[in-house]
Structure 1
Amino acid sequence: MTANLVIVESPAKSATIKKFLGEGFEVKASFGHVVDLPQKEMGIDIEHNFAPKYQVSPDKVRVVNELKALAKKADKVWIATDEDREGEAIGRHVANQLGLDIKKTSRIVFHEITKNAIDHAIKNPRTLDMNLVDAQQARRVLDRLVGFELSPVLRTKVKGGLSAGRVQSVAVKLLVEREREIQKFESESFFKVIGDFVGDAKKDFKAELSKDPTDKAEAEKFLNHAKDSAYTVESVEVRPGKKSPSAPFTTSTLQQEASRKLGFPVARTMQVAQKLYEAGHITYMRTDSVNLSDFAVKEASDQVKKLYGNKYSNPTHYVTKSKGSQEAHECIRPTHMEHQEAGSDPAEKKLYNLIRKRTIASQMTPASIEKTKAMIDISGHKLKFIASGEVIKFDGFLKVYFESSDEENEEGTGMLPLLKEGEKLDMQQIAATQKFKNHPPRYTEASLVKKMEELGIGRPSTYAPTISTVQKRGYVVNESREGTIREFVEMILAPVIASAAKQSEDKYVITTSTKKQNTGAEKQKLFPTDIGMLVTDFLGEHFKDIMDYNFTAKVEEDFDEIAEGKIKRAEMLKKFYGPFHKEVVATKDADRQSGERSLGIDPNSGLPVIARIGRFGPMVQIGKNEGEKKAKFASVPPGKSIETITLQEALDAFNGPRVVGKYKGEEVTASTGKFGPYVKYGKTYVSIRKGSELDYTTITIEQAIPLIEAKLEVDKNKNINSFDYPAKDGTGAGKKIEVLNGMYGPYIKYGGYNYRIPKGGKDATDMTLEDCVQIVDKKNNPIEK
């Protein structure tokens, strides 16, 4: 007989918690949710207060049965699922399945897995908070309503196989809006003028012209004036300043900083943080609070004093300011500040080190900075040169931690030599370099999380899943793209060299050169796909509320109010569903969308050229299928989109296959067609998978050979069996029924259609003609043609 059964979410926590609780306690995991809505139906009783029809998930039947058996033997069951709405709902569902009395079952919570935290939780149990359960259930039900009703609309009106989600749709909209800003952006050039000077201290320094010339002529005119100008320090301003440490990490700031400093995708950050939490190294990783407990403030401050001295210590409490901040959690911090290292692999150690340094730094003094700004007079000219410098007088928290930024900053923050008003300066050279204004930056995963948080879209538990989901659905890609080569002009005013000085009266000469630079390269940025843009446009036209940022944020606020007991779940859902369902019904009369864009006329055939979404993705097309004339198709080339591809780029996509090399004496080519990019070897066609790093325009023979060999091996094992099947009208003019091996397992092919073979039945190798006919006749639901 087990006196106490403690149920947690993850098995990774069990051993650690069991060690803290000791004898008389058994700790078992639910492995997350034990029930869910059914997959093949909506599973919501709309007429009865939107009651969800939960059922035990097939992969959790064994877990539930095991917990039931243990619960029967235990004197007391403790629900110890995670301390958030999701955890509260899991606890409720576990209690229901075990037949526990909700009003009497002990619910314990802890935001760190330490002995003190576990002991405190056991001594201070509460009951399950049904407001939190209702808030989670409201989110789950509302998202199911949206997904279940909206996805069929997209499949009918846009493209088969599509699905939609409430938060995911507005996240994609952010990317689409930014992409269109970039498409409309027209870069303007200007000239950045930087002078090199030397003063009495005999140390050179740089200064920037107070206004940028707009073109080459204006820049050249200034340099000609600068040849004969004198340069004098007009004023020197020295101002003290401070840099304060950032607050400890919340979920979103951890995701952002781990992306910038460690290069972690947001999903990776959460996976690693989960492991650190379960091992007892950090506090709970899904939080929007920057609060530190009094104990944590003292522990961090003690570490500061011990490692760096009293003058670096500045105990500070931070206040949470984010929209819809949830329950009274702490920030993400180490559970033992004295542990300078923790984690079982390099990723865990890196993330722990980041969390620890940020927490320690938050309890340190601000850095003291001295900022210097010198104005330099140019004789006979109204503009000035401005020299700026920054000196750290006391490093404070910077001794431990420096926060990264997504913004590029070209301004110098170095130290200036001692300068005095009225001091004469020697000009060493002045460079006028052509620059180009940058388009708005594309989002990274980290900056998208930041924007979502600013708008109140989603919550700590939803940021990472949202970003992962939109990529899995093909609405967004996260990739690096090469830039293009662009020319720019550089003019340098410098002293005349000695040999040339005899032939010229000028002390300085202007040298003009044209240089090249790579511009527009993108590293790990989020790009909306053509289908993502088309879906966004369709939803924006027909579901204005769903695609409205303020509306989405208001829904999140409603969930918060349900959690606080201010509004009822059913009322909130009813208010949402009525208008939404009307919009769904109204789309029945909407036209099917293909995102078609006319590009012009093919000069060779005189036929129209269009770009559109096809069955296999974005494509370009010459002509139409009319009579005996057949249209020609090609995939939109990598890096191009329906909205940006030009007529010439579309026509180039139809150029003949590119010869890659030879394999076993036979030519290998690469090209693209109606079904996407491919490699051809003899009569064998090998698709180049969408999302792979391979590009049909650059693939090498070394990269192509493994693809060819894998396809040949699959084809060799593809044919399992085949049967002659007479036509049903008795004419005998029937077709073959084939049993084949496919990418997703064996299937039946008949009459141009593919039919799934039910799981749990006969092995494909043992199937007879009668077995095949029965499946074909019974199912009448081919996979594809």
Structure 2
Amino acid sequence: MADSLVIVESPAKAKTIGKYLGSKFIVKASMGHIRDLPKSQIGVEVENDFQPKYITIRGKGNVLKELRDASKKVKKVYLAADPDREGEAIAWHLAHYLELDEKDDCRVVFNEITKQAVKDAFKNPRPIDMDLVNAQQARRVLDRLVGYKISPLLWKKVKKGLSAGRVQSVAVKLIYDRENEINAFIPEEYWSITAHLTKGKSAFEAKFHSVGGEKKELKSEADVKEMLALMGQNPFIVGEVKEKERQRNPSPPFITSSLQQEAARKLNFRASKTMQIAQQLYEGVDLGKEGTVGLITYMRTDSTRISPVAQEEAKEYIVGKYGEAYMPETPRVYLKKNAGAQDAHEAIRPTSALRDPESVKAFTSKDQFRLYKLVWERFVASQMSSAVLDTMTVDLNGGPVTFRATGSKLKFPGFMKVYVEGNDDGTTDEDRLLPALVPGDTANSDQIEPKQHFTQPPPRYTEARLVRMLEELGIGRPSTYAPTLETIQKRNYVAMEEKKFIPTELGDLVIQLMEEFFPEILDAEFTANMEGDLDHVEEGTQDWVNVIGDFYKSFQKRLDVAEDEMKEIEIKDEPSDEVCEKCGSQMVYKMGRFGKFLACSGFPNCRNTKPIVKETGVQCPKCAKGHVVERRSKKGRIFYGCNLYPECDFVSWDKPVAKPCPSCGGMMVEKRSKGETNINCTVCGHSEQAEEAEEAAE
């Protein structure tokens, strides 16, 4: 007969924990939060120390009745929500509903869902941590004040449906500023000269470096011609040769932001997908005879700390698999990446380094396996020896002009045997070998290749780049990155083009108004300082009411000024060249919740509307009647579909190319991977470089 009730957030977590605890425990799920602020009103009593007015979340009635009935049949109730602010708040709300004493030892936390970790946690229950609860409440109240005070103002002055938020507004501002940088960017010309050389049977390249011993920039074709004239027909004579050994250290184990970035680079996962799959791995996977096991530790963390037990297990695996040489003399310890890191949990790691990816492959989905493999490899590599590279730098002189060749060779792979961190431009580390060269040697020149270049504007933000920037600026915390990216797209403030963020006209308009009347909300430093104050609430060193009160004093003044001075903006309809097929009137462009669309100018007599589409020049491969057009999803993502929808439901996330497959005549689409664009056939798989396809189409 069970004498204890354990409440967690999800059924998957309940299933895993239930197997570990045995028949004396009933384990049930609250299905996340049970109370929240009402959607229909601000729900915060500003004049009463910002006290929140919580209500039971709609649809939770049956779950709550089940939990209340179960709690009456047991002697003890344990609250085992996730080990973070949100989890602590869920536990506090449950304690309130079930009339439990929050000072009683009812709270159980564990960083990993393994049998030993869970059993150890239940030996050491604690009271609910009100500092954590207040930190969560403070964030919720602060976000509610910003959102529910500014949004109605925007509705009144601009149009209904607009909204503003605290962290997401800064994210949109970053994207908006980057777009302005790109638009204002003026390319500058520069040139390079590459010498294609041979020494014996070995071929290698050297780049122009200096003239007369002084570094020189090649800014024009005239500069190039001057250097070539100075070189004349002189042979390339080897000058200074530098050889040295260089060590490369492994990356630290994952934290939330680095996991999201690397999953985007290597697995093409969006931040929300990464966190969804990580949650599944954390809550547990059925491994057959071994039972249900949590495969990774808690995935919302900004700490790179690793427990000694985990380090010992990693050592056992590394030495057993690769040998003593692959293990450093002392275990690696990684410092906190930034001063704001809370260090409340360990880094994200496998719950057992001995459980390699292949051993779980048969029990996991494709995406679960790929993410687990990434986490496992990163952790194991983080505990391994440094890689050792032999590097070589050679100066070659063609008269007074010096070219430089660089090469490297992997001498000892160390951690690179298991894993190498990706990067945003998709380049990889490869050996660039140089032949044996000594001063005085002569190298033969097969070709001298001048090339014109132009400086490039800063790149648009991908999800990975934006997460990294938010982290560097100290904006948001591990649990907020993925929801922030989702929110700014749902509100149509930004759109995704080729997996990069661009601001929409709606986003531009809101940011301009916010900049004028609420500059603090958009100020990265102000927002980061506010995050720091909220962290101090969590640490118990600041009172949450005082933090909110200090913010609200100046915020209310801004609201009053905006109410008086913000002019009503009329978003005028923009005429189009299209004619309404229902009444013959001219169609106009209107701004809607999900961006621009076409509407009949005869409204309200004619209510005809249609989306704005961009032609691709490709016939629909499914129905052969329509043609493929570019569309946007409600989240702002570009996709491609038949213009005869809903008659034809053809859809593609990849951009079609106006050229049939040369092998089978099927539709070709653009595929981007590791910084390169290939054109692949959707039928037979034929693949070619994008440049080749463009030339063929022309």
Range into which the TM-score falls when normalised by the shorter chain: 0.7 to 0.9
Per the alignment, residue 224 of structure 2 pairs with 219
TM-superposed deviation, 1:637: 7.9
Confirm or deny: 8 A CA contact 2:491 2:594 kept in the other structure: no
Query: Could you tell me which amino acid in structure 2 is paired with residue 535 of structure 1?
Result: V
Show the counterpart of 1:208.
Answer: 207
Alignment of 1:255-274 (within 5 A): 255-274=260-279
1:473 to 1:664, Cα distance in 2 relative to 1, 3 A: closer
Q: How does 1:493-504 map to 2 (within 5 A)?
A: none
Q: 1:77 to 1:694 in 2, by over 3 A?
A: closer
> Counterpart amino acid of 1:355?
V
Q: What is the number of equivalent residue pairs in this alignment?
A: 605
User: Does residue 189 in structure 1 map to residue 189 in structure 2?
Assistant: yes
User: Could you tell me which amino acid in structure 1 is paired with residue 119 of structure 2?
Assistant: D
**For residue 28 of structure 1, what is the aligned residue in structure 2?**
28
Aligned counterpart, 2:253: 248
Q: Which runs of 5+ in 1 are unaligned?
A: 481-523, 600-610, 626-632, 640-657, 672-676, 679-686, 711-785
The residue type paired with residue 510 of structure 2 is V
Determine whether 1:347 maps to 2:361.
no
Deviations 1:228-255 (A, max 9, x none): 1221111100121110001100000000
2:272 counterpart letter in structure 1? A
Q: Relative to 1, partners in 2 of residues 1:204 and 1:479: Cα closer, same or farther, differing over 3 Å? A: same
Distance 1:357 1:208, change over 3 A: same
Which residue of structure 1 lines up, in the alignment, with residue 644 of structure 2?
A: 705
Q: Aligned residue for 2:318?
A: 304
Deviations 1:29-70 (A, max 9, x none): 111100011110111111111111111111211111111100
Contact 1:618 1:635 survives alignment (8 Å):
no
Q: For the Cα contact (< 8 Å) 1:612–1:618, is it kept in 2?
A: no
Structure 2: distance between partners of 1:637 and 1:174: 28
1:541 matched to 2:516? The reply is yes
State the partner residue of 1:463: 481
Quote the residue 1:2 is aligned against: 2
Q: Given the alignment, which residue of 327, 337, 358 partners 2:378? A: 358
Match of 1:591 in 2: 567
Q: Cα distance 1:145–1:197, how it changes in 2: closer, same or farther (>3 A)?
A: same
TM-score for the superposition, normalised by structure 2: 0.81
2:527 equivalent in structure 1: 552
Q: CA deviation at 1:213?
A: 2.4
Letter of the structure 2 residue corresponding to residue 328 of structure 1: A
Verify the 8 A CA contact 1:181 1:440 in the aligned structure 2: yes
Partner AA of 2:70 in structure 1: L
Instruction: Please give the alpha-carbon distance, in whole angstroms, between the structure 2 residues aligned to 1:273 and 1:709.
Output: 36
Closer/same/farther in 2, CA of residues 297 and 527 from structure 1, 3 Å limit: same
Counterpart Cα distance in 1 of 2:177 and 2:593: 25
1:110 corresponds in structure 2 to: 110
Task: Please list, as runs of the form range in 1=range in 2, the aligned pairs for 1:480-559 lying within 5 A after superposition.
Answer: 480=498, 524-559=499-534
Q: Does 1:333 align with 2:353?
A: no
- Give the deviation of 1:479 after TM superposition: 2.5
The answer for the alignment partner of 1:278 in structure 2 is 283
Residue of structure 2 in register with 1:432 after alignment: 450
Aligned pairs (5 A) from 1:126-205: 126-199=126-199, 201-205=200-204
Change (3 A) 1:306 1:689: closer
Q: Does residue 423 of structure 1 match 2:464?
A: no
Deviation at 1:189, TM superposition (A): 2.4
Give the number of the structure whose alpha-carbon radius of gyration is greater: 1
Q: Determine the C-alpha separation between the residues in 2 that align with 1:215 and 1:554.
A: 47
Opposite residue 308 of structure 2, the aligned amino acid is D
Aligned 8 A contact 1:195 1:207 in 2: yes
Code of the residue aligned with 1:93 in structure 2: it is H
| 1:241 alignment partner, SS class | strand
The C-alpha deviation readout for 1:141-185, integer Å capped at 9, x for no partner, is 111111111111122223321111100000000000001000001
Task: Give the Å deviation of 1:592.
Answer: 2.6
Q: What are the residue-to-residue correspondences of 1:680-759 with 2, within 5 Å?
A: 691=636, 693=638, 703-708=642-647
| Equivalent residue for 2:333, pick from 311, 317, 320 | 317
Determine the structure 1 residue equivalent to 2:543: 568
- Deviation at 1:218? 2.6
Residues 408-459 of structure 1: CA deviation (Å, up to 9, x unaligned):
6699850111100111121111111222211101111011001000000000
1:123 aligns with 2:154: no
Fraction of identical pairs, as percent: 42
Q: Which runs of 5+ in 2 are unaligned?
A: 210-215, 285-293, 576-587, 603-608, 650-698
The equivalent residue for 2:236 is 231
Q: Which residue of structure 2 lines up, in the alignment, with residue 292 of structure 1? A: 306
**CA deviation profile, 1:654-709 (whole Å, cap 9, x unmatched):** xxxx9999x999x98999xxxxx99xxxxxxxx998947467xxx7xxx1233357
Contact 2:253 2:379 in 1 (8 A): yes
TM-score when scaled to structure 1? 0.73
8 Å Cα contact 2:490-2:634 kept in structure 1: no
8 Å CA contact retained: 1:159, 1:615:
no
TM-superposed deviation, 1:598 = 12
1:612, CA displacement in angstroms?
9.4
Q: Write the distance in 1 (CA, Å) between the matches of 2:136 and 2:157.
A: 31
Give yes or no for contact 1:619–1:634 (8 Å, CA) kept in 2: no
Is 2:257–2:468's contact at 8 Å kept on the other side of the alignment?
A: yes
1:728-779 CA distance string (max 9 Å, x none): xxxxxxxxxxxxxxxxxxxxxxxxxxxxxxxxxxxxxxxxxxxxxxxxxxxx
Q: 1:692 to 1:252 in 2, by over 3 A?
A: closer
Closer, same or farther: CA 591–416 of 1 in aligned 2, 3 Å: same
Please say if residues 195 and 445 of structure 2, whose CA atoms lie closer than 8 Å, have aligned partners that are also in contact: yes
State whether residues 534 and 594 of structure 1, in contact with CA within 8 Å, keep that contact through their aligned partners in structure 2. no
Tell me the distance in 1 between the aligned counterparts of 2:614 and 2:563.
34
In 2, the alpha carbon distance for the partners of 1:345 and 1:231 equals 57
Answer whether contact 2:497 2:638 (CA < 8 A) is retained.
Answer: no
CA–CA distance in structure 2, aligned partners of residues 617 and 28 of structure 1: 39
Query: C-alpha distance in 1, partners of 2:396/2:502?
Result: 45
Give the partner amino acid of 1:299.
E
Structure 1 counterpart of 2:556: 581
Preserved CA contact (<8 Å) 1:233 1:421 = yes
**Bigger relative CO (Cα 8 Å, ≥ 6 apart):** 2
- TM-align CA RMSD: 3.1
